[in-house]
Structure 1
Amino acid sequence: MAIVVEHDKRKHEILQKSLDVFIDEGYEDATFQKIADRCGITRTTLYIYFKNKHEIFLGSIKELLSGLEVTLLDIAGNTRLTAKEALIQILHEIIKSCTENKKLFSVLLSYLIQLKKSGQDPNERVRRRVIKLRHLMSTIIIRGIRAGEFKRLIVKNMNELIYGLTEAAIFRLAVLNEDSTKEILDAMELAITSWEV
């Protein structure tokens, strides 16, 4: 049992340290050797934990997002918050996380461009990664409608608006290299406020 725990702990450490390699080097220039060097292990040892760079990259992203997911679920589960308050807090957490990991989103963008060049569908990859987030936002919107907080609008359209504004914020941070997301957050809050009864 101790071996499994140690294996999982080492894998977690590799994923955390590999994020720095991807941020520093970019997806294309990050190599198995550079990741192994950053982790203080050999490439052979790294192969015990991961098959390739792609698997490490996706594991690193998942590791980063899992912490954010726990925070968002806590906010969504807080029954003392109105639906509007919960949505706004969730959006602030998402934008805060994006701001803190701005360089990583640049790496993610280059990874998605590389996928597209290789004939794969980057939209499908992104869609699979954000499905829980979109479900969470829909759940809160439905809660707000049922509680009489929000107008009876089409949930899918409400979700799409908020998600689109979130994508715009990520684009501004990762591609345009803007530091402020205040305008996007203000637009998100305005959209949510306009749904109120």
Structure 2
Amino acid sequence: MAIVVEHDKRKHEILEKSLEVFIEEGYEDVTFQKIADRCGITRTTLYIYFKNKREIFLWSIKQLTSGIEQQLNEIALDTTKSSEESLRLMLKTVVDACQENKSLFSVLLTYLLALHKSGGEPGVRVRRRIVRLQHMLSTIIIRGIKAGEFKKVNVKNANELFYGLIQSAIFRLSVLDEKTIDDIHDTLNLAVNGLLADKK
């Protein structure tokens, strides 16, 4: 059991250091050797954990997004807050995470473009990663509708609206290199305001 724990711990450390290399150098310029060097191990040792650079990159992204998903899940499950508070907090958490990791999103964009050029399907990969986020957003919206906090809207359309705004935020932060997220938060809050049921 101790060997498995040690293996997982080392794998986690490799992923964290690899992410730094991808952010600093960009996906295309990173090599297996550069990752091994950063981790202070040989390429042979690195092959024990991962078969190639692409696998390391995808696991690094998964490790990062899993942490964010855990935060969002805690928000979604917290019934002590109103649906409005939960939705605003969830959207703020997502945008804050996007700002903190905007360099990574630039690398991810390069990777997705390369995948598209090689005949891959970047849309499929992205949809796999966001299905949980969309489920959590839907859960909060449905809860808000049932509680009378939100208007009776089409949940799928509301979800698409918020997801589109999050995509826009990622683009603005990682591609356009916008420095402030105040406008992004304001836009998302305006969209939440549009969901609120009329007070009688």
Q: Under TM normalisation by the shorter chain, which class is it?
A: over 0.9
Amino acid at match of 1:161: L
Q: Distance in 2 between matches of 1:48 and 1:162?
A: 41
Task: Extract unaligned runs of 5+ from structure 1.
Answer: none
1:183, distance to aligned residue in structure 2 (A):
1.2
The two structures have a TM-score, normalised by structure 2, of 0.97
Residues 47-72 of structure 1: per-residue CA shift (max 9 Å, x gap): 00001111100100011111111111
**1:11 matches 2:11:** yes
Partner of residue 83, structure 2 = 83
Residue 34 (structure 2) aligns with: 34
Partner of 1:59: 59
Query: Any residues of structure 2 matched to 1:131-142 within 5 Å, and which?
Result: 131-142=131-142
CA displacement 1:62-115 (0-9 Å, x = unmatched): 111111111111111111211111111011111111111110000000000001
Find the residue that maps to 1:119 and give its secondary structure: coil
Q: Displacement, 1:30?
A: 0.6
Provide the secondary structure at the position in 1 that maps to 2:169.
Answer: helix
Q: Secondary structure at the match of 1:187?
A: helix
The whole-number CA distance in structure 2 between the counterparts of 1:90 and 1:190 is: 15
Residue 74 of structure 2: aligned partner: 74
Structure 1 length as normaliser, TM-score?
A: 0.98
1:26-175 to 2 correspondences below 5 Å = 26-175=26-175
Deviations 1:155-176 (A, max 9, x none): 0000000000000000000000
Task: State, as a whole percentage, how many aligned pairs show the same letter.
Answer: 63
Q: Which amino acid aligns with 2:21?
A: V
Amino acid at match of 2:95: I
Moved more, 46-55 or 182-191: 182-191
* Structure 1 CA distance for aligned equivalents of residues 157 and 138 of structure 2: 10
Aligned-partner SS, 1:150 = coil
RMSD of aligned Cα (Å): 0.7
Alpha-carbon distance between aligned partners in 1 of 2:130 and 2:194, rounded to the nearest angstrom: 25
Q: Which stretch of the first structure deviates more once superposed, 179-188 or 59-68?
A: 179-188
For each residue in 1:131-188, what CA deviation from the matched residue of structure 2 results, as whole angstroms up to 9, or x when unmatched? 0000100010000001111111100000000000000000000000001121121111
**Alignment length (residue pairs):** 197
| Distance in 2, Cα, partners of 1:191 & 1:101 | 24
